[in-house]
Amino acid sequence: MCGIVGYVGEKNCIPILINGLKRLEYRGYDSAGLGLIANGKSQVIKNKGKVSLLEEKVDKLNITATLGIGHTRWATHGAPNETNAHPHFNTSKNLFVIHNGIIENYQALREGLKKLGYKFITETDTEVLPHLIDSFLVKGHSLFRSVQLALGEVEGTYGIAVVYANEPNKVVAARKGSPLVLGIGENENFVASDVAAILAHTKQIVYIEDGEVIEIYKDHFIAKTILDKQVDKEIHEITMSLDEISKGGFPHFMLKEIMEQPESVCNSMRGRLLLEKGTSKLGGLESVVDQLVDTKRIIISACGTSWHAGLVGEYMFEQFARIPTEVEYASEFRYRNPIVGKDDTIFFISQSGETADTLAAMHEAKIRGALVLGICNVVGSSIARESIAGVYTHAGPEIGVASTKAFTSQLVVLALITLLIARRKDMSLVDGKTIVEELQKIPEKISTILKLNDQIEKIAEEFKDVKNFLYLGRGYNFPVALEGALKLKEISYIHAEGYPAAEMKHGPIALIDDNMPVVFIAPKDSTYEKIVSNIEEIKARNGRIIAIASENDDKIDSLVDYSIKIPDTIRMLMPLLTVIPLQLLAYHIAVKKGLNVDQPRNLAKSVTVE
């Protein structure tokens, strides 16, 4: 949550900061603000609402500055209004702080600072930071040292950037639990919570680690720990392009990312399939593959859409690798004293690689001696750096808040891991080759489904005004029902629930009437006849039925109101196909309701606070 960008150099930083905030707006869009230092003088401009409103406000002021910081907020403490917007400042209004994270002991710090005479004007936890830093500045410490000392008293998570009018040639940044990177330019340097914010200006990146404080000048930087130990940093070259984080002619990032899935799925498996051997090659797991094959139990820990991918992975691992598998919400994992040890392997799945709950669960698992592995999309992310080994999904940047291509890429990676383990155990060469061959066909089959976009849009028109939806599936497609319901909730604000189809009779059937649409995921597999029976039960109660069905299934048309026909594949890969129509359905319903699908209310892309 929240977007951070900062600049120190020789250019007018205001357009750089504004454009950076626009790139980061998917991380938070409740309010936005700038803190500027110009000719030794400080100025804060902030506004409730989107970055475009802040831009209009700044344009009217006709100011320039060569050093500044910017923030776009996702509210945690305090309402989303101008007062609570960042930056926050000290009493003299010459020191500004922007912050991503949560200061857990802010109330105690606040009371202590009040006793020192500091006055608070916001409802936020962040406001303690400028006052706390100021309390060390007044004792004669430098800005850098004051930040170190202040953070030594802070409990919680933070990615911060600080500027001070009395030291007008630097930005000080620090991180603990919230992502932050340093961008290296020529006579200019940057800091941001996401590479996307500064990609137009540099591809030279330094990853800031937990517990580090960075003093950033236009032509160099100094890195130390909070305890003042010098740190040597490595500069990385990133390969992401601006085209990858633009809409590319699509009306929304979400639609672009749905349509990119033939390519993103292909990228997730490129160079990793060995047809002749009927297996996969995953370089990121080579160092632990023997340990992985011999593991007694697998746990998959994730949140949201990644958790749904993990549920599909559970089916894969147990059916083919024959390893007992559990799927845990990362947000619950470390709070229930889990029984985890050295014989366990835990996969942590996160698109961003920065999900706070998932990172916290990972730290807990490492303490308990488990084999900790990561599955994530963002190269250099915290989960990628802190896991013992892992696999990148290579889905490419995902900007839309509602995850689409990340989900299917995660499914591909889970299938590749399944193949790798199973072929080293009991899976035959013939079965391995079948899975490889079917994986290779998936991108083309997704392309075929995407051609149904117009048909799905017409179905969306029929259902855009309903209040509730039910999604039902069996086996591998039960997690897809959950994911379809989540997509609809996230972007259309329609209440939706996903269930195993057989569980319908244990409660949800009471909701069925002629106003309740039910989506059945009903491909022709071993559960097909059971699903048809469930459809008949809904039909008997006048429910309105949409079916995701196999392209050669003529029987189902007479039982449902709408059928969306998709190609067949083997059961373990079917979720890669059945989820695509559900993504499009949610997208078109939200658009027809006039909603902002890329920035749904109350949500942010990267959940970096617990």
Q: Tell me the backbone φ, ψ of residue 20, rounded to 5 degrees.
A: -65, -40
Sign (positive or negative) of CA dihedral 508, 513, 518, 523: positive
Residue with tokens 């995660």: 410
Q: Which of 46, 48, 405, 605 is catalytic?
A: 605
Task: For 261-282, give one letter per residue: b (16+ CB within 10 A) or e.
Answer: bbbbbbbbbeebbbeeebbbeb
Instruction: Give CA 418 to chain center in angstroms.
Output: 24
**What is the SS3 assignment for 303-367?**
CHHHHHHHHHHHHHHHHHHCCCEEEEEHHHHCCCCCCCCCCEEEEEEECCCCCHHHHHHHHHHHH
Please tell me the distance from the alpha carbon of residue 130 to that of residue 320, in angstroms, as a whole number.
55
List, for residues 315-342, the tens digit of each pLDDT value: 999 999 999 999 999 888 877 778 888 8
List, for residues 341-393, the tens digit of each pLDDT value: 889 999 999 988 887 788 888 888 888 889 999 999 888 788 888 889 999 99
Based on the residue annotation, tell me whether 605 is a catalytic residue of this protein.
yes
List, for residues 215-231, the tens digit of each pLDDT value: 999 999 999 999 999 99
Type of residue at 377: N
**Does pTM top 0.75 for this prediction?**
yes
Delineate the domains of the chain, giving CATH numbers in brackets: 3-244 (3.60.20.10), 247-447 (3.40.50.10490), 452-600 (3.40.50.10490)
List, for residues 250-271, the tens digit of each pLDDT value: 999 999 999 999 999 999 999 9
List, for residues 300-319, the tens digit of each pLDDT value: 999 899 999 999 999 999 99
Q: Which of 2, 13, 266, 376 is catalytic?
A: 2
